[in-house]
């Protein structure tokens, strides 16, 4: 079995005309508009990875007994391609996504996709659909690599066949309010992940389990849910789709540690490095919801922000919970949040130097 395989190009019969595409990407929102193509690669126990194709985006044919439909063997990634001012197309730390995909696959008893094949699949799609990258400020092409079990078999065991696929989505801001601070609902009835579970893997099941809490957050008038730990319902973990940072009056930052129940965000890691690089102290420590409430009241806590690929860096202004609500820093976008967001997005978009070599240029 070879680690590298060719990705065969199957021409699209009727690509979207340029004027229609321009209309679609003018104000794409998040996750609603898709580019013309997708990459698929199959895996079977006999052949390993095989039949790589770049082809027109379209539906899969699945047997009703396909194991993903019953036992949810599915993982995914989220990453973005940006068009720089001088016309280059760049990805942000794509090998980190490839590695996290491998770790998610291992946890879900799925086959290992070589890093280079992951990268080649993503680059092939970006190169082909580069004209789908929105040009307006804040726009990017969101890439969604994913893998699922398609063996038709109802016994409970790891499947013997899988499909890996990448689709692309021109996107603007994740939150409708743009950079305006978001509100979060602290869920005490539902938790996201427990020790020994799949919290550190990017598997669809984690998100399925979070939807009822996210729906509750929306009912409570909040943008997102923030989860507490499953064992004590005490420690702040992360949001439904973002990690969280706290900024204190002495200039220090704190973010919950990677204990196995939260997703090791690539944005999280980048923020830690940028902040430490600027001489700030960043602790990866447990932080309780009670402490959060007290520190917001005393003014010791100055800013809180959420971060992730889709949401970038978003200030959290208001927190609601069963017994009340509180605001942080007057509910506005704080200085540290703003400066870290500006620095990160400037690196991602090629507007500044790249001291950590995070940009990955896609050959067009
Ligand atoms: N936490 C969860 C649950 C997520 O879904 C995401 C988004 O991918 C993140 C954190 C942030 O991860 P990253 O910065 O790698 O996008
Ligand atoms: C991402 O930021 O890439 C995510 O996966 C978060 C959400 C869209 C699920």
- CA 58, CA 212: separation in Å to the nearest integer? 29
* Ligand 1 atom closest to residue 192's alpha carbon, by position in its atom list: 3
Q: Is 197 in the pocket of ligand 2 (CB under 6 A)?
A: no
Residue 218 structure tokens: 């929306």
Give residue 146's domain range. 7-171
For residue 9, the SS3 value is strand
Q: Do residues 151 and 38 both lie within one domain? A: yes
Positive or negative CA dihedral for 211, 217, 221, 223? Answer: negative
Q: Do residues 140 and 222 both lie within one domain? A: no
Is the confidence at residue 300, as pLDDT, over 60? Answer: yes
Distance 64 CA to ligand 1 centre (A): 31
Nearest CA, atom 5, ligand 1: 241
Beta-carbon neighbour count of residue 225 at 10 Å? 25
Q: Is 265 in the pocket of ligand 2 (CB under 6 A)?
A: no
Q: Which residue's entry shows tokens 């099941």?
A: 205
Give pLDDT, residue 28.
93
Q: Do residues 146 and 251 both lie within one domain? A: no
How many separate domains does the chain show?
2
pLDDT one-digit tens code per residue, 10-59:
989 999 999 999 999 999 999 999 999 999 999 999 999 999 999 999 99
Q: Do residues 151 and 195 both lie within one domain? A: no
- CA 139, CA 171: separation in Å to the nearest integer? 6
- Reported as a pLDDT band with limits 50, 70 and 90, residue 178 is low
Is the confidence at residue 177, as pLDDT, over 80? Answer: no
Give pLDDT, residue 175.
76
Distance 308 CA to ligand 2 centre (A): 7
Choice among 120-124, 165-169, 211-215, 309-313 with the minimum mean pLDDT:
309-313
With a Cβ cut-off of 6 Å, ligand 1 is lined by 78, 238, 241-243, 263, 265-268, 308-309
Nearest CA, atom 5, ligand 2: 78
Residue 269 inside a domain? The answer is yes
Residue 327 inside a domain? The answer is yes
Q: Do residues 300 and 266 both lie within one domain? A: yes
* Average pLDDT for 237-264: 97
Residue 236 inside a domain? The answer is yes
Give pLDDT, residue 1.
47
Q: Do residues 158 and 248 both lie within one domain? A: no
Is the confidence at residue 179, as pLDDT, over 80? Answer: no
Q: Are 236 and 287 in contact (CB under 8 A)?
A: yes
Nearest CA, atom 9, ligand 2: 241
Q: Do residues 140 and 198 both lie within one domain? A: no
Buried b (16+ CB within 10 A) or exposed e, 177-188: eebbbbbbbbbe
Distance 273 CA to ligand 2 centre (A): 21
Q: Are 311 and 242 in contact (CB under 8 A)?
A: yes
- CA 93, CA 357: separation in Å to the nearest integer? 8
State if pTM tops 0.85.
Answer: yes
Percentage of the chain with pLDDT > 90? Answer: 93
- CA 100, CA 79: separation in Å to the nearest integer? 12
* Average pLDDT for 182-203: 96
Residue 1 inside a domain? The answer is no
Residue 354 inside a domain? The answer is no
* Ligand 1 atom closest to residue 269's alpha carbon, by position in its atom list: 14
Give pLDDT, residue 3.
55
* Average pLDDT for 97-106: 98
């Amino acid at each position: 079995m070879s680690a590298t395989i060719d990705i065969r190009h199957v021409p699209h019969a009727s690509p979207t005309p340029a004027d229609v595409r321009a209309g679609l990407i003018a104000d794409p929102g998040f996750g609603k508009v898709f580019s013309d193509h997708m990459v698929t690669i199959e895996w079977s126990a006999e052949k390993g990875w095989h039949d790589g194709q770049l082809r027109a985006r379209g539906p899969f044919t699945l047997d009703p007994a396909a194991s993903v439909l019953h036992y949810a063997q599915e993982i995914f990634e989220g990453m973005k391609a940006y068009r720089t001012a001088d016309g280059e197309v760049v990805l942000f730390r794509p090998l980190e996504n490839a590695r996290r995909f491998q770790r998610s696959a291992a946890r879900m008893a799925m086959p290992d996709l070589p890093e280079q094949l992951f990268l080649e699949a993503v680059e092939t799609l970006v190169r082909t659909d580069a004209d789908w990258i929105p040009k307006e400020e804040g726009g990017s092409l969101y890439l969604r690599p994913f893998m699922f079990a398609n063996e038709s078999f109802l016994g409970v065991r790891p499947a013997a066949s899988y499909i890996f696929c990448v689709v692309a989505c021109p996107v603007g801001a994740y939150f409708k309010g743009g950079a305006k601070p978001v509100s979060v609902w602290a869920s005490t009835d539902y938790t996201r992940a427990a020790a020994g579970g799949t919290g550190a893997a990017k598997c669809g099941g984690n998100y399925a389990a979070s939807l009822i809490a996210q729906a509750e957050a929306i009912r409570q008038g909040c943008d997102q849910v923030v989860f507490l730990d499953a064992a004590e319902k005490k420690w702040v973990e992360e949001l439904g789709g973002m990690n969280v940072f706290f900024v204190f009056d002495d200039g220090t930052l704190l973010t919950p540690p990677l204990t196995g129940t939260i997703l090791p965000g690539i944005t999280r890691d980048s923020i830690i490095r940028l902040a430490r690089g600027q001489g700030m102290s960043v602790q990866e420590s447990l932080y309780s919801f009670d402490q959060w409430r007290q520190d917001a009241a005393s003014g010791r806590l100055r800013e809180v922000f959420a971060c992730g690929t889709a949401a970038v860096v978003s200030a959290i202004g208001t927190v609601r919970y069963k017994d009340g609500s509180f605001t942080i820093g007057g509910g506005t976008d704080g200085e540290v949040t703003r400066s870290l967001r500006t620095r990160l997005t400037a690196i991602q978009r090629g507007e500044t130097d790249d001291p950590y070599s995070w940009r990955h240029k896609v050959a067009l």
